[in-house]
Amino acid sequence: RGKRAFIAGVADDNGYGWAIAKALAAAGAEILVGTWVPALNIFETSLRRGKFDESRKLPDGSLMEIVKVYPLDAVYDSPEDVPEDVKTNKRYAGSSNWTVKEAAELVKKEYGSIDILVHSLANGPEVTKPLLETSRSGYLAAISASSYSFVSLLKHFLPIMNPGGASISLTYIASERTIPGYGGGMSSAKAALESDTKVLAFEAGRKGKIRVNTISAGPLGSRAAKAIGFIEKMIEYSYVNAPLQKELLADEVGNTAAFLVSPLASAITGSTVYVDNGLNTMGLAV
Ligand code: NAI
């Protein structure tokens, strides 16, 4: 049997989640995705109308099949946690079972188990504010959506992950070196995510023989990145200063993810793997 992957954080064909889905599909995996509830309608409609068909193309010419799209809001663990105004919000009211616990239960009911869990999501409402101007609630919201969301996903999916399976998340160098502009507690959230990668690698390794790694990716002009505001500058900076002076393709991150969740990486866990044309190794802009 081929492997089954659940990829949280796919809502269009521009981001890292989509590229990872493609790389896993090309390697023969069955693809389930978790899509943020407010983005669900437009994503499903676009998918159905063939808007993504060009970017669904796999190396062998076939089209990536997304077997099922699950609504998900990784900020909520179970229905008791959902505030009334969200519950009754019209973007949410049309969907059901989108808390992390319910999504995992639904996947279990419909597919039994998974082999691969991918976390490709982040959110920081105050990302454009410097840390010194970030509110407590903005900071905690960034950690909730971008770091604890991974703890929660792994916690709830671990019981249905087959031993030998693996998980992947996406992080950014702003966790360890100052990137002015990546604010709102997002740098803190990525630092937490990387630290948690080590602790969770230990816990999930011992508990379920599951590997946990994170990819520190270079800049990509995704929807989320454009919301931060200086992504074009970062891409240009990387192009000028990285050891490899080429555009960083989302597919390069996708391919690394496919390697890391495959048996080829069977001894790699708890690692932060850089996929950034080597930019992280530079100490001086040239
Ligand atoms: P993206 O916009 O394709 O992906 C972010 C996804 O998170 C979106 O689909 C959004 O709907 C979803 N999301 C936001 N809040 C959510 C919630 N509460 N529950 C469920 N889903 C939610 O953008 P991108 O850039 O591909 O982001 C994927 C990951 O890559 C993120 O962790 C990001 O921090 C990371 N990354 C991105 C870099 C870049 O330059 N684009 C660089 C390094 C890391």
Atom of ligand 1 nearest to the CA of 225: 41
What is the CB-side half-sphere exposure of residue 120 using CA atoms within 13 A? 33
Residue scoring higher pLDDT (97 or 1)? 97
Q: Per residue in 19-47, pLDDT tens? A: 999 999 999 999 999 999 999 999 999 99
Which are the catalytic amino acids?
Answer: 172, 182
- Please count the other Cβ atoms lying within 10 Å of the Cβ belonging to residue 285: 7
Q: How confident is the model at residue 210 (pLDDT cuts 50, 70, 90)?
A: very high
Q: Which of 16, 176, 230, 280 to mutate to test the pocket of ligand 1 (most atoms within 8 A of CB)?
A: 16
From ligand 1's centre to the CA of 39, what distance in Å?
A: 12
Residue nearest to atom 29 of ligand 1 (CA): 120
pLDDT digits (tens, 9 = 90+) for 124-166: 999 999 999 999 999 999 999 999 999 999 999 999 999 999 9
Could you give the count of Cα atoms lying within 13 Å of 181 in the half-sphere of its Cβ?
Answer: 13
Instruction: Please check the confidence at residue 282 and state whether its pLDDT lies above 90.
Output: yes
Which residue has the CA at smallest separation from atom 34 of ligand 1?
122
DSSP 116: E
Nearest CA to ligand 1 atom 15: 123
The pLDDT-based confidence of 1 (bands split at 50, 70, 90) is: confident
Q: Give the mean pLDDT of the chain.
A: 97
pLDDT at 190: 98
Nearest-atom number in ligand 1 for the CA of 39 is 11
Distance 125 CA to ligand 1 centre (A): 13
Distance 193 CA to ligand 1 centre (A): 13
Query: Which pLDDT band holds residue 285 (cuts at 50, 70, 90)?
Result: confident
Q: Does the pLDDT at position 80 exceed 80?
A: yes
Q: Whose CA is nearest to atom 26 of ligand 1?
A: 15
Residue 189 clears pLDDT 90, i.e. is over it: yes
Ligand 1 mean position to 184 CA, how many Å? 15
Contact 29, 2 (CB under 8 A): yes
Say whether 253 sits in a helix, a strand or coil: helix
Residues within a 6 A CB radius of ligand 1: 9-11, 14-17, 36, 39, 72-75, 120-123, 145, 170-172, 217, 219-220, 222-225
| One-letter identity of residue 112 | G
- Tens-place pLDDT, residues 84-123: 999 999 999 999 999 999 999 999 999 999 999 999 999 9
Nearest CA to ligand 1 atom 5: 121
- Is 197:271 a contact under the CB 8 Å cutoff? yes
Ligand 1 centroid to Cα of residue 134, in Å, is 20
Query: Could you give the count of Cα atoms lying within 13 Å of 203 in the half-sphere of its Cβ?
Result: 11
- Kindly report the protein residue whose alpha carbon is nearest to atom 2 of ligand 1: 224
Task: Specify the pLDDT at position 104.
Answer: 98
Judge contact between 124 and 138, C-beta under 8 A.
yes
State residue 139's pLDDT score: 99
The pTM assigned to this predicted structure is 0.98
Q: Which residues contact 75 (CB under 8 A, 6 or more apart)?
A: 123, 141, 144, 145, 149
Q: What is the CB-side half-sphere exposure of residue 95 using CA atoms within 13 A? A: 24
Q: Which atom of ligand 1 is nearest to the CA of 171?
A: 44
Burial class (CB in 10 A: 0-12, 13-18, 19+), 129: middle
SS3 250: helix
Give, in degrees to the nearest 5, the angle at Cα 254 between 234 and 30.
150
CA 170–ligand 1 middle distance (angstroms):
8
Query: For the chain, how many helices (H) and strands (E)?
Result: 11, 7
Helix/strand/coil for 195:
helix
What contacts 11, CB < 8 A, 6 or more positions away? 17, 35, 36, 39, 40, 42, 43, 223
3-state secondary structure of 262: coil
Q: How deeply is 51 buried, as exposed, middle or buried, from its count of CB atoms within 10 A (0-12, 13-18, 19+)?
A: middle
b/e sequence 246-278, b meaning 16+ C-beta within 10 Å: eebebbbbbbbbbebbeeebeeebbbbbbbbbe
Share of the chain above pLDDT 90, in %: 97
